[in-house]
Chain A
Amino acid sequence: MLLAVSSPPFLHCGRTIRKASFEMLIALAPAAIMAIWHWGMPAARVMALAMLTGILAEALCQKIMRREVHVDDFSVVVSSLLFAFLLPAAAPWWLVVVGTAVAVFLGRMAFGGLGTNPVNTALVGWAMLYISWPGLMDPNSMQLETMYMDPLVRLKFFGASGVQGIGLGELLLGCQIGGLGAAQGLALLAGGLYVLARGLVRWEISASFFIGVLASATLLYGLDPAHNVQPLFHLVTGGTLLGGFFLATEWASSPTGRIPMLIYGLFAGVMVIIIRVYGIYPDGVPFAILLANLVAPLLDGIRPKPFGARR
């Protein structure tokens, strides 16, 4: 009888990349459903097109690189969906295709595939589109047939008094103009808590990110309540929840040590508020996370001494 022979360890936790991707997609599903609820078929179309383009782009790249085509681990589907969440629901089809392709090419494959990108995959695509077609990427100018408002645009141009009447509850439920998935606060919160509980993303990053956002917002609000909004407003608007749970925590672009992760998250969170309050962009989350990604390798140099090393 032939027995299988291997070397230790013989057990495995059972989680493969594919299973992890499925769990991420489950976590993102509530936000996707809420996006369709609020924005209808256009949102569904953008998400589906992004995922399809992502799969084709990765397969094409892997073929050109003469590597085994590994789209069946579904990791590119997760990244593409996250990218789609940042887009306005009314984004034209070619914008979605170009953006996803850039995200996959530049944000992943050019560096070697899953796990190698120095900056977040979805945000690379978003940033390229935002700089090139700012009008088309601004949900406030794209989503015209709606009663909702874009709270961060109002904050930027009308000040704190311009957003007085908007309740946090309705913002959480997605009754705001923003990225089609990024605006679905409550759904993202549910999904985010799920991936945290499952250990798919590191709590150190999410916790320090949200603490960074809330602490800086609280500080500014405390110093000048007339011109700043209450801190929780910053949590439920723009890409904060999406960024804190799903974007800042991307494996490849974030550090792996505990102290590096805490500093990284804090840095990103504080930058979100600084860009929102003092910068020219209504939402600081994508650029804050991109900046933090650039700092991550330096932070990962903060390493504990190995077990037994003389202190």
Chain B
Amino acid sequence: MKGLRFPVGCDAAEVAESPAPLRVRLDRCGFSVVSGLKKKSLVAAGALLATHPALDRGDLFASVSGEITEITDDDIVIAAVPSPAEGAVEPPADVPVIEASLAGDGLAAVLKKLGVDTAAFTAACETLIVNGLDPDPGISWAVPLLKSQHACLAAGFGLLGRLSQAQKVVLAVPQGTAASLASFDGVETREVPGEYPAGLDPLVIHAVTGKEAPDNVHAVSLHDLWGLGRVGLTGRPLTETVLTVSDGEYPAHLIVPEGFVAADLLELAKIPLEQGDMLLHDGTMRGAALSSAEWGVRKTTTGLFVLPAGSVAPLDGASACINCGTCVSVCPARLSPGRLSSYAEFGMYDKCRDEGLLACMDCGLCTYVCMARRPVSQYLRMARSVSA
């Protein structure tokens, strides 16, 4: 978008495997730990640690071999064992196998047991679009992934074809990159122009199909497809994520074992973290702030960023809308975020719905440009949750 400045994007062309961590902290909220697992248990990489009750959520596996040092309600911490030692564990023997005949729900059930969240892939639709654009400013692994992980993505597409009911699969890539990318069998590649928020699913769907919010079209992220392909290629459970870790100038795209502690990852990337800084996981516009650097990354984490203290003017909750109209000029959903946020501020949620609140894509651009530093996105989210 003209005039908007985001952290510098990436020139690093590749996605690299990160060094092995010395410890991992795996998030196990919502999972039930397998019986027999306790502190001091030795586990091999790929061993089943906990199961999730939902049929479309992948189970939790050890991302490194080592000894369990902590099991709490929220996480499981494993201290890595760097080399085979006495009492070393055998690799897990009961890893499910993806048989060639499996498809649809049967395949989804096996993939769940291999750690893959399958909800996105099995949604009913006629056209499935793989969103190969960077989802958020600062995250820039899309093109490096497409360029350097072709085999993995091809395996992903293969599994996707068997999982999904879609008749047509389209891969959306950033404008100007299709020529330099190898194609995938049975997949149409389409270029989509623009920077953020062009990478948002509703806008990618619009760019590819020419229609706004069409029925029977569904989008999945390239990141999820990579995870699917990783399982297809290695036959082992999914225990890694691809993320961009950046200090704003020098990004690195890494394949990182799940549970890699944020503090360790920052140290690896030589990014300092000081008192009062903000530590973000996923993106800088739609991600979340971590309250501590001791949390580990998840399978779904797409980025890790540090916003130094004082680099962004703080939100002002008591600030009134000055009706400058800047938010109106940047909103991709053609709404008036200033007006909607004022309605929400005064509890007029019905008026919010009447004026298109549900079309909001939660891109955050309104808050990005707001001169009065109003929490516009926050008001809109509140209005959406109240009126839902």
Contacts and interface: CB of A to CB of B under 8 A. Distances in A.
Contacts of A255: 325
A20 B287 CA distance: 28
A112 interface: yes
A307 B290 contact: no
Given A3-B278, A6-B289, A202 B356 contact: no
Given A12-B313, A256-B325, A308 B286 contact: no
A94 interface: no
Contacts of A309: 212, 356, 359
Contacts, number: 154
A308 B371 CA distance: 28
B321 interface: yes
Given A6-B315, A307-B361, A251 B324 contact: yes
Interface stretch (B3-11, B151-159, B180-188): B3-11
Interface centre among B212, B293, B323, B365, by most A CB within 10 Å? B323
A147 interface: no
Contact of A16 (B274, B313, B356, B377): B313
B359 to A, nearest CB: 4
B285 A3 contact: no
B276 interface: yes
Given A3-B279, A8-B364, A10-B280, A17 B371 contact: yes
Nearest to B325: A256
Given A251-B322, A305-B334, A307-B334, A10 B328 contact: no
A146 interface: no
A115 B284 contact: no
Contacts of B276: 2-4
B275 interface: yes
Contact of A307 (B309, B333, B378): B333
Nearest to A6: B289
Interface string A293-311: 0000000000111111100
A114 interface: yes
B307 A10 contact: yes
B202 A308 contact: yes
A225 interface: no
B320 interface: yes
A12 B334 contact: no
Contact of B287 (A10, A112, A113, A114): A10
Interface residues of B, number: 69
Size category of the binding interface on chain A: 35 or more
Contacts of B280: 10
A307 B312 contact: no
Interface centre among A6, A20, A199, A306, by most B CB within 10 Å? A306
A74 B289 CA distance: 33
Given A306-B359, A307-B333, A7 B324 contact: no
Interface string A244-271: 0000000110111100000000000000
A306 B278 contact: no
A11 B320 contact: no
B329 interface: yes
Interface string B131-152: 0000001000000000000000
B368 interface: yes
Nearest to A256: B325
19 contacts: A4-B277, A4-B309, A6-B289, A6-B315, A9-B285, A10-B287, A12-B312, A12-B370, A12-B373, A13-B4, A14-B313, A15-B371, A16-B373, A114-B322, A115-B324, A256-B328, A257-B336, A306-B333, A307-B332
Given A13-B368, A16-B371, 20 more contacts: A1-B275, A3-B293, A4-B278, A5-B278, A7-B381, A9-B286, A9-B377, A10-B278, A11-B368, A13-B3, A14-B313, A306-B355, A306-B356, A307-B202, A307-B213, A307-B356, A307-B359, A308-B202, A308-B359, A309-B359
Interface of A: 1-17, 20, 68, 112-116, 199, 202, 251-252, 254-257, 303-309
